[in-house]
A and B are shown apart, each in its own frame.
Chain A
Amino acid sequence: MPGCQRYERPKILTTTAVIFWILNIVLDTTGHLAFKSVATVGHTTELERWKKMLALPTMWLGIVCFVFEFVAWLALLSLIPLSLALIIGTMNIVAVMLAGKLLFAEQLDGMRIVGMSFIVIGVALAGGCA
């Protein structure tokens, strides 16, 4: 990208860092989708709802995803500055919204599309110029 002065310093976003970033997005999105799909289970009481949810394999898929996301996030933070990690980490918001649209037919109104675009542009600027 022009104007980034990327030749003047060592590359921060190494292949390993990018892998952990993508892993973080995949785990976060899968976890949220798993929780969303079990959260709507039919129930009469709150206790029954939790019993039903905990009996579903999808619930455990979600829990496992978030445990591994915790490790992937720590790994990413050990490789790149916190400020950069936090900025490119906002890609999770976009991924979860797109997945919600695809799998649960959730609405994406104009305002939401504009917001998502701003986030993608921001991530591209910060990540591309790292």
Chain B
Amino acid sequence: MKSRRFYILGFAALALFDTITQISFKFATLHAGEFSLQLSWLRHVLLSLPIYGAMLGYLGSFITWMTLLKHAPIGPAFAASHLEIITVLLISFVVFGERLNSAQLLGAASIVLGVICLSMSKAKHPDE
């Protein structure tokens, strides 16, 4: 049985890496501009620096996930891996100046509630 601090640090690391990935993705697309069905668009994305930040974030969250799952129960781990929604939302408001209307914020709250419900489910989790 690992200590409480192990879990808290682990779940925080997971959320951090996932947040880095999504923010980097957005930066990469800002660099390449709006999608067009051309190889040059993809090349612009793949040649931008932030896309490698996203890949590092992926790698980090993969390693953290695998380490956590050796000890942590799947329910809370599942929740933590999806609650990056909250951090990404906050950062996208501050960094990208994005705004959600009140109905959308209500929707986001409903999703967070849904993820918490799923993490508390007693049924066998697909990942187990």
Residues of A within 8 A of B (CB): 1, 3-5, 16, 20, 36, 71, 73-75, 77-79, 81-84, 86-87, 90, 93, 96-97, 100, 104, 106-109, 111-112, 114-119, 121-130
Contact = CB atoms under 8 A, between A and B. Distances in A.
Nearest to A36: B126
Given A74-B29, A78-B35, A118-B111, A87 B104 contact: yes
Contacts of A104: 126
Contacts of A127: 107
B100 interface: yes
Contacts of A75: 35
> Majority SS of interface residues in chain B?
helix
B54 to A, nearest CB: 9
Given A124-B107, A125-B103, A90 B115 contact: yes
B67 interface: no
A22 B104 CA distance: 19
Contacts of A123: 107, 111
Contacts, number: 146
Contacts of B123: 106-109, 111-112
B126 A106 contact: yes
B22 A96 contact: no
Contact of B89 (A86, A100, A114): A86
B20 interface: no
Contacts of B34: 78-79
B108 interface: yes
A25 B107 CA distance: 19
Contact of A82 (B92, B116, B126): B92
Given A1-B103, A112-B123, A82 B118 contact: no
Contact of A115 (B88, B89, B121): B121
